[in-house]
Every structure is written in C-alpha cells, then in structure tokens.
Copies of this chain bind each other. A is one copy, B any other.
Amino acid sequence: MGVNGYGTIGKRVADAVAAQPDMEVAGVAKTQPNFEAHTAVDLGYPMYAAIPERAPLFAEAGIETAGAVDELVADADVMVDCTPSGIGAENKTMYASYDTPATFQGGEDATVAETSFNARANYDDARGADTVRVVSCNTTGLSRLVAPLSEAYGVETVRATLVRRGGDPTQDSRGPINDILPDPISIPSHHGPDVQTIFPDLSIETMGLKVPATLMHVHALNVTLESDVTAAHVRQLLENQSRVYVIPEGFGLDGAGTLKDFALDAGRPRGDIWENCVWGESIAVEGRDLYLFEAIHQESDVIPENVDAIRAITDAADAAESIERTNRTLGVGLAGDPTGFDSAEPVEADD
C-alpha cells in the first residue's frame, strides 16, 4: 500500500496501515522534505518524491528517496491519495495508468471515484471497486450516526449545525480570531449533499459555522425519526456502535480540550480520537425528535475508514471483519466504551 501525500491524513494512514497484520506500507510520497518527511524516515517508510524534479531537495535535506511517486504507484497494490483537495483528482490518471486501485479523501468531489465510502454505512459498495472516496471528517461523523438511527428507527429528516474549528493546530495562517462566521452563509452547507453521497435518499439540511478553535468540530444535531423512541433507547443504540463513544456523565469531558487531553492520557497516537464523541447527557428526545451534541476530531476520525477502504477495494474482508480488525488493531474505544478495546492489541497475521 502506498500513501501519496504525507501530511495530516497521510501520516496517520501510514501508521494505521503499518499496524495492520494484513497490510504493509510500500512507501510514502511527499512534495517537500519538511519535519514530517524526517519522521517518515525515522519510521522506516520508503520515501518517494511526489514531484520528481524536487528530489534533489530531499537529498539536500539528508533524506534518501526510493524514487519518484509513479514508481510507488507501479509497485503498490493500492494507493491511498492523501494530497490536498483537488490534487487527488489530478492524480487519478496516474493511478489508472498503472492499473493501481486508489482511494481518495473527502476533499475531492464525489465524482473522483466510483463510490463514496463509510465503513459502517456502505462498505459493500466499495468492494472490488477501482476507485473509492473516503468521505470527509464531518460527513464520516454524520454517517456513523445516520446509519444506526436509520436502521433502528427510520430517519425522516436530519438537521445539523456544524460548529467547525477554524483550522487544524498546524494551520497557523487560518482564522477566524474572535469571531463566529456562518460558513458558508448560504444554506445548506456542502455537508448535507455530501452525506447524500452515502445515503442518496436521506433528507438532510446542514448549517456550517467557523469559530476560533483548532481542536475538534462540534455538531448540534436534530434528527426527526420515523418512530417514537426514548432517549435511553437511543443511547444504548449509540453505545453499541463501535466507532461512537458516548461520553459518560461524571468524566468531566466538557469540550474538545478535555477530550483531547483524555486521548493523550490514554496514550493515543498524536492524541487522536477516531470515534464520534457523543455527550451522553445531551441525548434528548421530544416526540420523534432526537437532539444531541457530538465532537468530531477532524484530523483522525477518517483514519479507521481509510484502513477499511483498503480492505474493501482489495476485497480482502467483509465489513464486519474489517471493522473489527481495524478497531482491535488500533485500539478503538476509550475508557467507559462498552464496545471498546482497552488498547491496541496485536492481531495474528493469519487472523
């Protein structure tokens, strides 16, 4: 498996793949020899120059390259494209020219791939496909809730307000500072239609805002269900989802800052939080209307999905097998999660 684009998502995908007993990192491709490139070398990932003419820059920085990115594409069974939005689409012909199946990230248009992908919702659509698009962090977060709610109760309409972090911790040129921006001002935001790439018939309206925070997104969610439910029943349903963490009362996890601290305390790599974090005490039901808050870690919630997308595209396992293996290997599930793994557990290669 090769990773093209070794930034926020790419470096996490490489590490997650390296942890899988049934996968191997053939190499990673990068445009520039920055700090992440040095870490990749330390981790032993063969480094390829994403822009061949820039290979000398890597040599100057003391980083040996194994070749140009097309050599990696030729060698790899699957390419995971983790380049910035829009570059993935440009890379598509390169992957096709080597007959290498490829997965793309949610920043690309849905048309980049045969299918958009969320492991919980539509794994089978991606089995044996040549191209798959793993949807964005927010769309992944919404899909993980829509799938079980839809199966258990039927969903009439989803209304989501996405209070989005302005940028990631490393994106120091982004804002806002001290402002609350409807973004986009027009309704719906692109998120609703993006969720419909996973659930084509879903009625969903999304409103997006940006605020001066970098750690996680927070969603304020209303779902009108097709049947009467209780908050307790919904809570149990969500607790049974392996990639949904229902934050227990009394843990003092009042926002993104404490959630990230909790993940770092738990020894999570980079403090990543792969799960939707739904505040248990926020789950409220009024008639057929469900309300809740959840936090989404924009840098990492798609990582287990990327691993599963590789298994789907290579038809290496069915959904349940893949999800279980990914979860166990990474250690998905924080303290207090009934479906969680206490920590990453080794899995036999022939598992």
List residues of chain A with CB under 8 Å of any chain B CB.
157, 159, 161, 163, 165, 176, 178-182, 185-188, 205, 207, 209, 211-218, 220, 222, 254-257, 279, 281-284, 286, 289, 291-293, 295
Out of B176, B218, B222, name the residue touching A222 (CB < 8 Å).
Answer: B222
Copies in the complex: 2
Q: Decide yes or no: A185 and B217 within 8 Å by CB, A165-B180, A179-B255, A255-B176 being known contacts.
A: no
The answer to whether A180 and B220 touch across the interface, beta carbons within 8 angstroms, is no
The answer to whether A282 and B186 touch across the interface, beta carbons within 8 angstroms, is yes
Best-surrounded residue of A157, A180, A212, A256 (most CB of chain B within 10 A):
A180
Report 7 cross-chain contacts, Cβ distance below 8 Å, ordered by A residue.
Answer: A178-B257, A179-B215, A179-B257, A180-B217, A186-B284, A205-B289, A212-B212
The answer to whether B216 and A180 touch across the interface, beta carbons within 8 angstroms, is yes
Q: How far is the CA of A187 from the CA of B181 in the complex (A)?
A: 23
Q: Decide yes or no: A212 and B281 within 8 Å by CB, A161-B161, A291-B205 being known contacts.
A: no
Q: How far is the CA of A37 from the CA of B277 in the complex (A)?
A: 47
Out of B176, B255, B279, name the residue touching A180 (CB < 8 Å).
Answer: B255
Minimum distance in angstroms from A302 CB to a CB of chain B: 19
Chain B residues lying within 8 Å of A212, measured Cβ to Cβ, are 178, 211-213
Q: How far is the CA of A214 from the CA of B295 in the complex (A)?
A: 22
Closest B residue, CB atoms, query A254: B181
The answer to whether A186 and B281 touch across the interface, beta carbons within 8 angstroms, is yes
Chain B residues lying within 8 Å of A181, measured Cβ to Cβ, are 218, 254-255
The answer to whether B159 and A279 touch across the interface, beta carbons within 8 angstroms, is no
Q: Decide yes or no: A293 and B185 within 8 Å by CB, A216-B180, A217-B180 being known contacts.
A: yes
Minimum distance in angstroms from A23 CB to a CB of chain B: 34
Q: How far is the CA of A182 from the CA of B277 in the complex (A)?
A: 12
Closest B residue, CB atoms, query A207: B220
Q: How far is the CA of A286 from the CA of B157 in the complex (A)?
A: 11
